[in-house]
Amino acid sequence: MATRLLRSISLIPKQSIISRAQVRAGSRLPIQSTHFVNFQKQTFATARPPSSTNGERTINIPRIPLLLIGIGFACLGVGLYEYFTSDIQKYPPPIRQALRKALYFSQDDRDTKLALQYFRQALELGIESPEMERDGAPLTGIMIQLGVLLETLGRLPEARQTLTLALRHLVGFENDRESVKDKRPDSDVFNVDLSSLPTQTQKKIVGIAQKLGDIAAKCRLDDEAEKWYTWSVEHLLRISSRPKSEYNDTEEVIFDKDHMPAWLTKAELGGALEALGTFYATHGNYVFAIQLYLQALNMAGLKTCHTSVLMNNLAEAYAAMGRFEEAKQWGQKGLDHAQNPNTRKLNDDGEECDATCGTLLYNMGMLFEQTGDKAKASQFYKHAGLHGRKFKLDECVQESDRALRRIEFEQRHPATFD
Give Cα separations from 214 to 97, 148, 178, 230, 297 (angstroms). 32, 12, 30, 12, 21
Domain spans in the chain, listed from the N-terminal domain onward: 301-418
296 vs 73, residue with greater confidence: 296
Question: Who's near 153: CB < 8 A, 6+ residues apart?
Answer: 112, 116
Average pLDDT over residues 139-167: 95
Side chain identity at 109, as an amino acid letter?
D
Higher model confidence: residue 242 or residue 278? 278
Share the mean pLDDT of the chain. Answer: 81
Q: For the residues 14-29, what does the mean pLDDT come to?
A: 43
Please calculate the CA angle 407-354-28 and round it to the nearest 5 degrees: 115
What's domain 301-418's superfamily in CATH? Tetratricopeptide repeat domain (1.25.40.10)
Distance of CA 227 to the CA centre of its chain: 18
pLDDT of residue 34: 46
Mean pLDDT score, 149-169: 96
Please tell me the predicted confidence (pLDDT) of residue 257: 82
CA dihedral sign of residues 96, 101, 104, 109: negative
Task: Decide: residue 128, CB within 10 A, 0-12 exposed, 13-18 middle, 19+ buried.
Answer: exposed
What does the pLDDT look like over 372-392, one tens digit per residue?
999 999 999 999 999 999 999
pLDDT of residue 177: 60
Strand, coil or helix: what is 326?
Answer: helix
Residue 309: which of 318, 321, 300 has the closest Cα? 300
> pTM of the entire structure?
0.77
Residue 119 pLDDT: 94
Single out the residue of 14, 11, 12, 5 nearest to residue 252, CA to CA: 5
Question: How much is the average pLDDT of 241-262?
Answer: 79
Pairing of strands 253-255, 241-243: antiparallel
Better-scored residue on pLDDT, 387 or 252: 387
From the number of C-beta atoms within 10 Å of its C-beta (0-12, 13-18, 19+), residue 110 rates as exposed
Mean pLDDT of 284-312: 94
Mean of the pLDDT values across residues 127-148?
Answer: 90
pLDDT tens for residues 55-97? Answer: 444 334 455 544 454 544 444 443 433 333 346 777 888 999 9
Give pLDDT, residue 232. Answer: 95
**For the chain, what is the radius of gyration of the CA atoms?**
28
Average confidence (pLDDT) over 24-29:
56
Q: Which residue has the higher pLDDT, 265 or 60?
A: 265
The predicted structure's pLDDT at residue 132: 87
Band the pLDDT of 251: cuts 50, 70, 90: low
Q: What is the pLDDT of residue 70?
A: 53
